[in-house]
Structure 1
């Protein structure tokens, strides 16, 4: 079919007009966006971490001897007075039961001790007889020396014999004491443990080492314990501190004396604190993702009035925000309004005609929500937050609330 040149020209102009109208319609259709205003305000850069309260001075109550711990007389939270309140009672350990071989050995030791007693008794009788004879000989010699019947040497020999006899008697008495002690030791080994416990001392009483309350108890029931085993912890719940573990890389940016904001502790109002100590040694901790991290303990003192946090106790959870950097009057932009490319940071600046202009900016300090604008914007400028992928430089926009 042959078309005249006039028809072709008219048809082409019509198609071009329709295409232009369509493009114009799409071009003029504004993109709905959220708009925020750049304003001056306060910004704090913080290091955040989960923390835990704990009593600053904690005293462990440990078992001084091996024995049986009686049921704990107090419960967790009960008040104690240093040196007066009894925290725990321990009965000394009883002798273990003997097997057949050990009992036979103990019986042999007992029989040996009894034989030693009999021998010592005979020795005592012999030495006492010698002492009696030596004393009479000395008395007779002294009576005869005056008449010249005996010499002085004879008197001296009698005196020496008496001294030797008396020494032998003392030695025999000592052997008797040793034999009696050996017998008692053997009888103690053979004694029934239950009888020994019934006739022994009641218990060792452990008083509270400090004023405060019982913070923790390992076990309230009666049980065997070893010397040095921990039984309870005593402390004053009014003397609290907060410990939070942070990454060692974050710890290098903090300082002692930094302000701390304490949140999520259960009260309606955030508490204030101050960093008292940054531990000098880090430790390796495996995160929930299985990554090894070097973490450091941060010790924080609560500076808010005590009545504001009186309900806090030992081991309570707290969210910690340590102030790393703070400024009172800075130009702030929401982080949701900035994006980064190879050329740096950018934002979409909204003009008075609601045209989005891709604008380069420079950022300084920032926290998790806001950033400081160093160059590129002024107070009162409007920017697009959460810009959609369809937004381009020069696109017409409309605020979502007004769209």
Structure 2
């Protein structure tokens, strides 16, 4: 009897196993998916771009004259006060070296000037002697005229001769002064570099001292070391650190979609939360910029002011990089769905709507959208459950299950 019972039990197990395998094979397959709900919520459409902070009014200090600028008395980041803090000192430059030919020419010019000076002194002595002689003649004729033995014409001739002699003396005196200046000029050409420093004159009266044109911080210094500079050469820049703005170069097709006063979010600046800014100005002219891919683009410069107080962004400074999201449009109560649920079905937008655990291909009409959500204008209603990031396994009529319920 034991043998038939074992056969019956074995047969029952085999039949049960075949039934389980058949049930597993015939059971409908569910595709795990991510599901989101279509709801009403605020929606913002933004223009995104990288920007740069900068101080609105940066003062560039340049050399007013050519000369040698001394080592910078200030450093980058130093606080300066308008009209008080010395930011640069300029002194006359050293004379240039003379080659052999130039030195010989300068020495010859000096000898010529010295000889002319000697000649002018001789002429001055001759003119002085003529003037003294004319003075004596005038005195004698004047005395005779007083006694009535000299005529009026003789007195007039003596007076004219005295005037001519005095004029010649003044001319000779001026000529000597001119020749002395020529000697000094010729000697100056022969001055060697370093001769002025070896003279021991350290009064500093010949130097120019530049003070800060505005109160603020030193932003940059062209060169901290002493050097020769030409007139107009930049020395350093100064600006008030708390007077920041943002500049961003937008594509012209993006710039036409925003307006002055538009709200903006400043992100990726290094702080924990986003800052707020507002568009102040959109420049009327675009410029051409070549992108990293070698494509010519028309860009427009847009300027923004910070709305967030400076106390909440103390570390932000001049020429810091930031990321901007400028609000082009905002809706307070918009029917929206995740942008990841959308795909193209032919030439139209479509989504997979979950109905009774089944994916249904549904065409939708889309309005404005950003990087996360899109505005729904038609095709589905609020509360509809849509599949986000649908895979190739999802199709119309496929059974689906929410991935979150499997965890």
Query: Is the TM-score greater than 0.5?
Result: yes
Confirm whether residue 85 of structure 1 aligns to residue 85 of structure 2.
yes
1:4 aligned partner: none
Confirm whether residue 324 of structure 1 aligns to residue 325 of structure 2.
no
Q: Residue deviations 1:150-188, cap 9 Å, x none?
A: 211111000000000000011101110110010000001
1:395 aligned partner: 398
2:298 aligned partner: 294
| Paired residue secondary structure (1:191) | coil
Structure 2 unpaired stretches of 5+ = 1-21
Structure 1 unpaired stretches of 5+ = 1-20
After TM superposition, the structure 1 = structure 2 runs for residues 2-401 of structure 1, keeping only pairs within 5 Å, are 25=26, 28-199=28-199, 202=204, 203-351=207-355, 353-401=356-404
Question: CA distance change for structure 1 residues 344 and 91 in 2, over 3 Å: closer, same or farther?
Answer: same
| Paired residue secondary structure (2:194) | helix
Offset of residue 311 of structure 1: 2.2
Q: Residue deviations 1:14-56, cap 9 Å, x none?
A: xxxxxxx899837x21222111110110111111111121111
Offset of residue 357 of structure 1: 1.0
Q: Distance in 1 between matches of 2:218 and 2:198?
A: 31
Q: Compute the TM-score of the two structures, normalised by the length of structure 2.
A: 0.90
Question: CA distance change for structure 1 residues 340 and 320 in 2, over 3 Å: closer, same or farther?
Answer: same
| Paired residue secondary structure (1:297) | strand
Whether contact under 8 Å (1:106, 1:186) holds in the other structure is yes
Q: Residue deviations 1:188-209, cap 9 Å, x none?
A: 1101221124456633211111
Query: Which deviates further from its counterpart, 364-373 or 223-232?
Result: 223-232
Offset of residue 129 of structure 1: 0.8
Query: Which deviates further from its counterpart, 84-93 or 283-292?
Result: 283-292
Q: Distance in 1 between matches of 2:23 and 2:185?
A: 114
Offset of residue 299 of structure 1: 1.1
Whether contact under 8 Å (1:278, 1:299) holds in the other structure is yes
Offset of residue 272 of structure 1: 0.8
| Paired residue secondary structure (1:193) | coil
Count of residue pairs brought into register by the alignment: 381
Q: Distance in 1 between matches of 2:66 and 2:26?
A: 92
Q: Residue deviations 1:197-238, cap 9 Å, x none?
A: 445663321111100111111221222222211111111101
2:17 aligned partner: none
